[in-house]
Structure 1
Amino acid sequence: MRAFRLLLILVLALGLAACGKKDTKFRTYKGPEVTAVVIKKTERVMYLLHNEKVLKKYDVGLGFAPVGHKQFEGDGKTPEGTYYMTFKNPNSRYHLSLYVNYPNVIDKEFALLQNKKPGGEIFIHGGPRNKVSVRDWTEGCIAVTDDQIEEVYSMVNLGTPVHILP
């Protein structure tokens, strides 16, 4: 009888837990379309815009050597220029991430002329699992918190222009 009660309590507890709010990293967004992402490197700020209106503003971390335009693999710089969101990664090492299409044709040509690799895989992503304590720590990506990337991921569509300014 005691085992039956224990089993019943366990089944009820699991049933109630299943009815609770699901903790998911995939949010829904029903507001105005994000028509552009603007990142101001010197201010360490990212804006999500609908036309000229700022919808959201985030503090960001950049590459470990953020001054100047990314030119080569391993330089620690965050690119500058206009790029586009081309891929969403739901299985990122950094919670969620959105791929910025660096390097573009010009970036590749420049690196080739220098006989170097341009680097790549520039993302807007969440924070690391080990919670780095320095602001600019990425290899050239744009970093926000895990909570913030969930919001950004839900708001920004593929094809959205990303303007990265000095």
Structure 2
Amino acid sequence: MRFLLTSLFLMVAQAVWAEPTVTLVRVLKTDNKLQLLAKEKVVREFHVVFGANPKGHKRQEGDERTPEGSYTLDYKNADSAFYKAIHISYPNAKDIASAKARGVNPGGQVMIHGQKNGLGWLSPISQHLNWTNGCVALSNADMDVVWALVKVGTPIEILP
């Protein structure tokens, strides 16, 4: 009987403490925030940094901007040059057409990631500077949480 009661308690406790399913990732560039949402409710929020030129939508390769708009987190890379990386599906068809009309390369390989491998200890400093080439960077500890909660295929909305 004791075993059954203990098992029941553990099942109830797990259901109560289980992390919600993330249905949207939202990035607020002006506020340097990345939010994880479950059914339109913010369940986690993290401080993030961007490229050296963070204002405005990414227009071309090398502009050090983070794209703005709606994309998908389409794959994870555990063997990145940075501590874990989740790929943002930039450029989309609109981004490609816009860059083509201007005769430039739209760029790509925009990720959500942690610190450069081996440099995680710099996070208390680097997370106060826009240092990426247009990616969204978190501390390694925060990236562990995002990595665990965000599934491939989750939509991402990047706002100014």
> Which residue of 107, 119, 122 maps to 1:119?
107
Task: Answer yes or no: is 1:41 the counterpart of 2:29.
Answer: yes
After TM superposition, which residue ranges in structure 1, 4 or more long, deviate above 4 angstroms?
A: none
In the superposition, the TM-score normalised over structure 2's length comes to: 0.82
Task: Answer yes or no: is 1:73 the counterpart of 2:61.
Answer: yes
Question: Cα offset for 1:156?
Answer: 0.4
> Which moved further from structure 2: 80-89 or 130-139?
130-139
- Aligned-residue RMSD, C-alpha: 1.4
Aligned to 1:8: none
Could you tell me which runs of 5 or more consecutive residues in structure 2 were left unpaired when the two chains were aligned.
Answer: 1-16
> Which residue of 54, 58, 62 maps to 2:42?
54
**3-state SS of paired residue (1:48):** strand
Task: Answer yes or no: is 1:153 the counterpart of 2:147.
Answer: yes
Question: Cα offset for 1:63?
Answer: 1.2
Aligned to 1:14: none
Count of residues in correspondence between the two structures = 138
Could you tell me which runs of 5 or more consecutive residues in structure 1 were left unpaired when the two chains were aligned.
Answer: 1-28
Question: Cα offset for 1:30?
Answer: 4.5
In the superposition, the TM-score normalised over structure 1's length comes to: 0.80
By percentage of residues, which structure has more helix?
2
Question: Cα offset for 1:147?
Answer: 1.0
Residues in 2 aligned to 1:52 and 1:116: alpha-carbon distance in whole angstroms = 36
